[in-house]
Protein backbone atom coordinates (compact mmCIF):
# COMPACT_ATOMS: atom_id res chain seq x y z
CA UNK A 1 0.00 0.00 0.00
CA UNK A 2 1.56 3.26 -1.15
CA UNK A 3 -1.14 5.96 -1.02
CA UNK A 4 -4.06 6.49 1.34
CA UNK A 5 -6.60 9.25 0.70
CA UNK A 6 -8.44 10.60 3.73
CA UNK A 7 -11.45 12.57 2.49
CA UNK A 8 -12.44 15.08 5.17
CA UNK A 9 -15.40 17.41 5.47
CA UNK A 10 -14.47 19.10 8.79
CA UNK A 11 -17.48 17.52 10.52
CA UNK A 12 -17.45 15.53 13.74
CA UNK A 13 -16.37 12.50 11.67
CA UNK A 14 -13.08 14.13 10.66
CA UNK A 15 -11.06 13.22 13.77
CA UNK A 16 -11.91 9.54 13.34
CA UNK A 17 -11.07 9.61 9.65
CA UNK A 18 -7.71 11.29 10.29
CA UNK A 19 -6.93 8.94 13.17
CA UNK A 20 -7.73 5.79 11.19
CA UNK A 21 -6.05 6.92 7.98
CA UNK A 22 -2.97 8.12 9.87
CA UNK A 23 -2.65 4.83 11.75
CA UNK A 24 -2.95 2.83 8.54
CA UNK A 25 -0.46 5.06 6.71
CA UNK A 26 2.08 4.58 9.51
CA UNK A 27 1.50 0.81 9.65
CA UNK A 28 1.91 0.38 5.89
CA UNK A 29 4.50 3.10 5.28
CA UNK A 30 2.04 4.77 2.91
CA UNK A 31 1.79 8.41 1.94
CA UNK A 32 -1.29 10.11 3.40
CA UNK A 33 -3.29 12.60 1.33
CA UNK A 34 -5.79 14.76 3.21
CA UNK A 35 -8.46 15.71 0.68
CA UNK A 36 -11.25 18.24 0.98
CA UNK A 37 -13.78 19.08 -1.71
CA UNK A 38 -15.37 22.52 -1.93
CA UNK A 39 -18.61 22.56 -3.91
CA UNK A 40 -18.27 24.34 -7.23
CA UNK A 41 -19.30 27.96 -7.49
CA UNK A 42 -22.86 28.19 -8.78
CA UNK A 43 -23.30 29.51 -12.27
CA UNK A 44 -26.35 31.07 -13.80
CA UNK A 45 -25.11 31.38 -17.38
CA UNK A 46 -27.99 29.18 -18.57
CA UNK A 47 -30.29 32.00 -17.50
CA UNK A 48 -28.27 34.71 -19.21
CA UNK A 49 -26.45 35.95 -16.10
CA UNK A 50 -22.70 36.39 -15.82
CA UNK A 51 -20.59 35.82 -12.71
CA UNK A 52 -19.91 39.58 -12.66
CA UNK A 53 -23.57 40.15 -11.84
CA UNK A 54 -23.22 38.11 -8.64
CA UNK A 55 -19.93 39.21 -7.06
CA UNK A 56 -21.10 38.11 -3.60
CA UNK A 57 -21.25 34.48 -4.76
CA UNK A 58 -17.71 34.66 -6.06
CA UNK A 59 -16.49 36.32 -2.85
CA UNK A 60 -18.22 33.65 -0.78
CA UNK A 61 -16.59 30.88 -2.86
CA UNK A 62 -13.14 32.41 -2.47
CA UNK A 63 -13.61 32.72 1.30
CA UNK A 64 -14.83 29.11 1.53
CA UNK A 65 -11.71 27.91 -0.27
CA UNK A 66 -9.46 30.09 1.89
CA UNK A 67 -10.98 28.75 5.12
CA UNK A 68 -10.83 25.17 3.87
CA UNK A 69 -7.14 25.57 3.05
CA UNK A 70 -6.46 26.88 6.57
CA UNK A 71 -8.33 23.94 8.15
CA UNK A 72 -6.55 21.43 5.91
CA UNK A 73 -3.18 22.80 6.91
CA UNK A 74 -4.17 22.64 10.59
CA UNK A 75 -5.07 18.97 10.12
CA UNK A 76 -1.81 18.38 8.27
CA UNK A 77 0.11 19.76 11.23
CA UNK A 78 -1.49 17.13 13.47
CA UNK A 79 -0.29 14.21 11.31
CA UNK A 80 3.11 15.38 10.03
CA UNK A 81 5.04 14.49 13.20
CA UNK A 82 4.51 10.80 12.36
CA UNK A 83 3.97 11.18 8.62
CA UNK A 84 6.35 13.84 7.32
CA UNK A 85 5.44 13.21 3.67
CA UNK A 86 1.70 13.71 4.20
CA UNK A 87 0.08 16.25 1.90
CA UNK A 88 -3.15 18.18 1.48
CA UNK A 89 -5.32 18.70 -1.57
CA UNK A 90 -8.22 21.11 -1.97
CA UNK A 91 -10.46 20.53 -4.97
CA UNK A 92 -13.46 22.41 -6.30
CA UNK A 93 -16.00 19.82 -7.48
CA UNK A 94 -18.96 17.81 -6.25
CA UNK A 95 -17.82 15.69 -3.27
CA UNK A 96 -18.35 12.25 -4.78
CA UNK A 97 -16.94 13.03 -8.22
CA UNK A 98 -14.03 14.92 -6.71
CA UNK A 99 -13.02 11.98 -4.52
CA UNK A 100 -13.38 9.44 -7.34
CA UNK A 101 -11.34 11.58 -9.75
CA UNK A 102 -8.63 12.21 -7.15
CA UNK A 103 -8.35 8.48 -6.38
CA UNK A 104 -7.87 7.80 -10.10
CA UNK A 105 -5.35 10.60 -10.51
CA UNK A 106 -3.21 9.56 -7.55
CA UNK A 107 -3.66 5.82 -8.06
CA UNK A 108 -4.57 5.58 -4.38
CA UNK A 109 -4.72 2.17 -2.73
CA UNK A 110 -7.29 3.03 -0.06
CA UNK A 111 -9.86 5.74 0.65
CA UNK A 112 -10.96 6.57 4.19
CA UNK A 113 -13.99 8.77 4.77
CA UNK A 114 -16.59 9.39 7.42
CA UNK A 115 -20.23 8.57 7.68
CA UNK A 116 -22.67 10.73 9.61
CA UNK A 117 -25.41 8.14 9.95
CA UNK A 118 -28.23 10.63 9.29
CA UNK A 119 -30.68 7.90 8.41
CA UNK A 120 -32.67 6.67 5.46
CA UNK A 121 -34.78 9.78 4.82
CA UNK A 122 -31.80 12.16 4.69
CA UNK A 123 -29.85 9.74 2.49
CA UNK A 124 -32.80 9.46 0.08
CA UNK A 125 -33.31 13.22 -0.11
CA UNK A 126 -29.73 14.43 -0.06
CA UNK A 127 -27.69 11.38 -0.95
CA UNK A 128 -24.66 10.18 0.90
CA UNK A 129 -21.07 10.61 -0.20
CA UNK A 130 -20.07 7.51 1.79
CA UNK A 131 -22.75 5.37 0.13
CA UNK A 132 -21.90 6.73 -3.30
CA UNK A 133 -18.21 6.10 -2.73
CA UNK A 134 -18.88 2.48 -1.81
CA UNK A 135 -21.00 2.04 -4.96
CA UNK A 136 -18.39 3.65 -7.21
CA UNK A 137 -15.34 2.32 -5.36
CA UNK A 138 -12.31 1.77 -7.53
CA UNK A 139 -10.20 0.78 -4.54
CA UNK A 140 -10.97 -0.46 -1.04
CA UNK A 141 -12.98 2.16 0.84
CA UNK A 142 -13.08 2.35 4.63
CA UNK A 143 -16.04 4.16 6.19
CA UNK A 144 -15.44 5.53 9.69
CA UNK A 145 -18.63 6.33 11.62
CA UNK A 146 -18.97 9.69 13.31
CA UNK A 147 -19.09 9.47 17.10
CA UNK A 148 -22.56 9.07 18.54
CA UNK A 149 -23.93 12.30 19.92
CA UNK A 150 -24.76 12.25 23.61
- Residue 59 vs residue 125, higher pLDDT: 59
The average pLDDT across 102-112 equals: 96
Tally of CA atoms within 13 A in the half-sphere of 47 that contains its CB:
7
Provide the pLDDT confidence category of residue 27 given band limits of 50, 70 and 90: very high
Question: How far is 128 from 96, CA to CA, in rounded Å?
Answer: 9
Q: Supply the pLDDT for residue 86.
A: 96
- Domain span at residue 62 reads 3-145
The average pLDDT across 109-121 equals: 73
Tally of CA atoms within 13 A in the half-sphere of 88 that contains its CB:
19
Q: Supply the pLDDT for residue 126.
A: 37
Question: How far is 101 from 72, CA to CA, in rounded Å?
Answer: 19
The average pLDDT across 9-17 equals: 91
Q: Supply the pLDDT for residue 37.
A: 94
Structural domain count of the chain: 1
Q: Supply the pLDDT for residue 131.
A: 77
Helix (H, G, I), strand (E, B) or coil at 61: helix
Question: How far is 39 from 42, CA to CA, in rounded Å?
Answer: 9
Q: Supply the pLDDT for residue 44.
A: 65
- Residue 43 vs residue 109, higher pLDDT: 109
Task: Name the average pLDDT for the chain.
Answer: 85
The CATH code of the domain that includes 17 is 3.40.50.620
Amino acid sequence: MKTIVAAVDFSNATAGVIGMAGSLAKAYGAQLHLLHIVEQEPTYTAYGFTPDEYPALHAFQQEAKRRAAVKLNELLATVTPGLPDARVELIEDSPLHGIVDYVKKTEADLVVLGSHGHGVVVSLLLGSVAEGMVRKALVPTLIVPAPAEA
